[in-house]
Structure 1
Amino acid sequence: MRKILLVCSFAALVSLISIHIYAQAAPAAAPAAAPAAAAAPAAPAAEAKAGGHETMSFTSIVFRSGMFGLLIWITLFGSSIVCFALIIDSFINIREDKIAPKSLVAEVNNAISQGDLAMAIQSCDNSGAPLGRILKAGFTNVQEGFEVVQDAVSVASDIESETLLARVSYLSVISNITPMLGLIGTVQGMIYAFFNLGTQEAGAAQQSMLAINISHGLWATAVGLGVSVPASILFYFFKNRTTRLVLGMEALTLDITKSLRNAEVVEDSPEG
C-alpha cells in the first residue's frame, strides 16, 4: 500500500513539474518568434489584446494562482491520488476471500476433526488472512484451557477489526479535508480578485486577473467536492462491507473454537 502511494505521489509530482515547465516555456516562445513586435507601441498592443480573447485553460489557472494557491492545488491533487489508491486497495483487500477464505475454514475444520492442531496452525500461517491470525491466537493457547482460548480469540478479533476499519477510515479523512481545502482555495481566489480589483486600473488586464482569480476559487471548490463526494460514498460502502465481514469472521471463529472444544484437541496439542 505504501509503495502504491509513493509511486502515485512521485508520478503526480513529475507531471506537475512537467506541466509547469511547459506552461512557462510556451509564453516565452512568443517574444522570441517575433522580436519586432516588442518595439511596437504599447497602445495598439493593448487594443489588440482587449479586442481578442485570451485562452485560459485549467492548467493556466492552476499555475497562475500564486504560491499559496499552487500549494493548495498540489494538496488537492495529492489527496485525489491517495484517495484513488485507497479505493483500489480496498476493492482488492476488503473481500471475503482475503479476510475469511473458505479454503482456510475447510482446512482448519479438517485438521481439528483429525485432532491435528499443528496442521491447523500451519494452515493459519499459510493463509495470511485476518481469520488465520485470529484462529492462531486461540490455537497457541489451547494448553491454557478453553476460556483462555476464547479470551485470546476475542483480543485478536478486536485487533484485526480495528486494523481493517482504520484502513478504511482514511477515506473518511480525505472526504472531510478536501472540501475544506477547496474552500480555502475559493477564499484565496476571492481575496486576490478583490485585491486586484482595487489596485489595478480598469482595463483588459484587470478583467483578465479578475477572471483568473474567480476561476481559481470556483475550480478549487469543484475539485475538492469532486474528490470528497466519491470518497465519502465509498467510505460508507467499505465500512459496511468491513463490518459485515468482521461479524461473519467472528461467527466462524466461534464455531471453530466450539468444535475445538468438542473435539478435545487441547489434550492432543503438539509441544513447541
Structure 2
Amino acid sequence: MFLQATTTIINNKVTEKQVFSLWDVLFSGGIIGNTIMIAIFLLGILALYVFFERYFFIKRASKETPNFLENIKDCIHDGRIQSAIDLCRRTDSPEARMIEKGLTRIGRPISDISNAMQNQGQLEVSKLEKNLNILASASGAAPMLGFLGTVVGMIMAFFEISNVTGAVSPKLLASGIYTAMATTAVGLFVGIPAYFFYNILVTNVDRLVLKIQTHVNEFLDTLNKPL
C-alpha cells in the first residue's frame, strides 16, 4: 500500500523544467553585476571600432604607389628637386612625407638629411600606432572586469544563502553561480579577440615600417651616389 502511494506521488509530481535564457543569465546580477556587464560590452564595441578604423587606416598607408621611388630617383639624377618634392606632396603615404622631408634638406650633410627623415618617421609611426593602446587595454581589462563580476556575483549568492533559514536549496546556489560566471565568460569573449586584433595591427605596422625603412635607405643611397 505504501509503495503504491509513493509510486502515485512520483508519477503525479509536476516537474518544472527551467528554460535557458541568455538574456536572464547575462543581466540577472543586480545593479553591480549589470553595470559590469554593460561596461564589458561597451569595451568590446570600442575595441571593435578601433580595430576596423586602424586596420583600414594602415591598409591605406600600405598602398603601393607604382614607380614612385623610381620617379624620385629620376628627378634627383636630372636635378629636378622641386619636381620630386611636388611628387611627394601629391602622394599620400608615410614614405612620401619622409622623402619630402629629406628632399627639402638637399645640400646639407647627409647626416642632417637622415636625422630629419628619422624625426618625420617617428611622427608617421605614432600616427600608425594611434589608439592601439586601447586594444591592448581592452584585452586585459575585459577579463579582469569579468572576474570582478564573478566575485561580486559569488558574494551576492552567499549573502542570499546566509539569509535562508533551514536547508539551502541547491537551485539557489546554482543560480547565483552561473549568473556570476557569465561575466567571466563575456569578459573572455571580449578580451581574447581584442588580444588577437592588437597583435594583427602591430604585425601590420611592423611590416609597413620595414617597407618604409627600405625605401628610405634606397633614397639615401641615391643621394650618396655621384650624379
For the aligned pair, the TM-score class normalised by the smaller chain equals: 0.7 to 0.9
For structure 2, list consecutive stretches of 5 or more residues without a partner in the other structure. Answer: 1-13
SS of structure 2 residue aligned to 1:101 = coil
Instruction: Give the CA deviation at 1:170.
Output: 2.8
Instruction: Give the CA deviation at 1:260.
Output: 3.3
2:197 maps to which of 230, 234, 237: 234
Q: Deviations over 1:176-197 (max 9, x none)?
A: 1111011101111111111111
Structure 1 match to 2:217: 254
Task: Supply the distance in 1 between the matched residues of 2:86 and 2:31 (Cα, whole angstroms).
Answer: 56
Cα 1:109–1:78 shift into 2, 3 Å = farther
Which range is displaced more, 79-88 or 208-217? 208-217
SS of structure 1 residue aligned to 2:85 = helix
Instruction: Give the CA deviation at 1:212.
Output: 4.0
SS of structure 1 residue aligned to 2:129 = helix
Instruction: Give the CA deviation at 1:249.
Output: 0.9
Residue 178 (structure 1) aligned with residue 142 (structure 2): yes
Q: Deviations over 1:89-134 (max 9, x none)?
A: 3432334x62362334344334334332223222322322221221
The 5 Å alignment of 1:1-272 reads: 51-95=15-59, 98-99=61-62, 101-103=64-66, 104-201=68-165, 210-262=173-225
- Give the alignment's Cα RMSD to 1 decimal: 2.8
Task: Supply the distance in 1 between the matched residues of 2:81 and 2:171 (Cα, whole angstroms).
Answer: 76
Aligned residues: 213
SS of structure 2 residue aligned to 1:144 = coil
Determine if contact 2:54/2:128 at 8 Å carries over to the other structure.
Answer: no
Amino acid at match of 1:242: V
Higher relative contact order (CA 8 A, sep 6+): 2
Task: Supply the distance in 2 between the matched residues of 1:217 and 1:207 (Cα, whole angstroms).
Answer: 15
TM superposition score normalised by structure 2: 0.79
Which range is displaced more, 145-154 or 51-60? 51-60
Task: Supply the distance in 2 between the matched residues of 1:202 and 1:113 (Cα, whole angstroms).
Answer: 94
More helix by share: 1
Cα 1:113–1:207 shift into 2, 3 Å = farther
Instruction: Give the CA deviation at 1:56.
Output: 4.7
Task: Supply the distance in 1 between the matched residues of 2:173 and 2:96 (Cα, whole angstroms).
Answer: 61
Structure 2 match to 1:10: none
Determine if contact 2:29/2:180 at 8 Å carries over to the other structure.
Answer: no
Determine if contact 2:150/2:180 at 8 Å carries over to the other structure.
Answer: yes
Amino acid at match of 2:93: A
Task: Supply the distance in 2 between the matched residues of 1:67 and 1:119 (Cα, whole angstroms).
Answer: 65
SS of structure 2 residue aligned to 1:232 = helix
Amino acid at match of 1:215: Y
Q: Deviations over 1:200-258 (max 9, x none)?
A: 45699x76654443222211111111222222233223323322221221121111122
Task: Supply the distance in 2 between the matched residues of 1:187 and 1:125 (Cα, whole angstroms).
Answer: 56
